[in-house]
């Protein structure tokens, strides 16, 4: 079977390979390792940035919650609510009399 394939495709295939080899030197292959290292750096930077952003959000939420809880607490000096005590009633000593204001003359 190998000889049959060699006889059928040999001249065309050989010509194609010769053309490729005579075209010039092969381009250099890029380094897979360098690309992997650069990708790893990007991933680490992205993870660090996301972790810092998450920590910042948690801190802001914690501070906001603490401030809201502190504002809603009664002061420690303030006494607990008690029923109102009656205030002593004072009788007015003297009621001021209305002062008459002069009306402007009609023209």
**Domain-embedded: residue 51:** yes
Evaluate the CA torsion angle 31, 33, 38, 39 in order and state its sign: positive
**Domain-embedded: residue 63:** yes
**Domain-embedded: residue 98:** no
pLDDT in tens, 12-46: 888 888 888 888 777 788 888 888 999 999 999 99
> Structural domain of residue 55, as residue ranges?
32-68
pLDDT in tens, 53-88: 999 999 999 999 999 888 776 655 555 566 666 666
pTM of the model: 0.40
Q: What residues have CB less than 8 Å from 88, skipping those under 6 apart?
A: none
**Domain-embedded: residue 64:** yes
Give how many domains the chain has, as a whole number.
Answer: 1
């Amino acid at each position: 079977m190998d000889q049959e394939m060699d006889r059928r495709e040999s001249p065309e295939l050989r010509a194609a390979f010769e053309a490729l080899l005579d075209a010039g030197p092969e381009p250099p292959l890029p380094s897979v390792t360098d690309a992997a290292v650069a990708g790893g750096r990007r991933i680490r930077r992205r993870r660090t940035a996301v972790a810092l952003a998450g920590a910042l959000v948690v801190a802001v939420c914690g501070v906001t919650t603490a401030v809201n809880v502190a504002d809603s607490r009664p002061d420690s000096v303030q006494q607990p609510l008690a029923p109102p005590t009656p205030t002593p009633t004072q009788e007015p000593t003297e009621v001021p009399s209305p002062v008459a204001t002069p009306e402007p003359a009609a023209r």
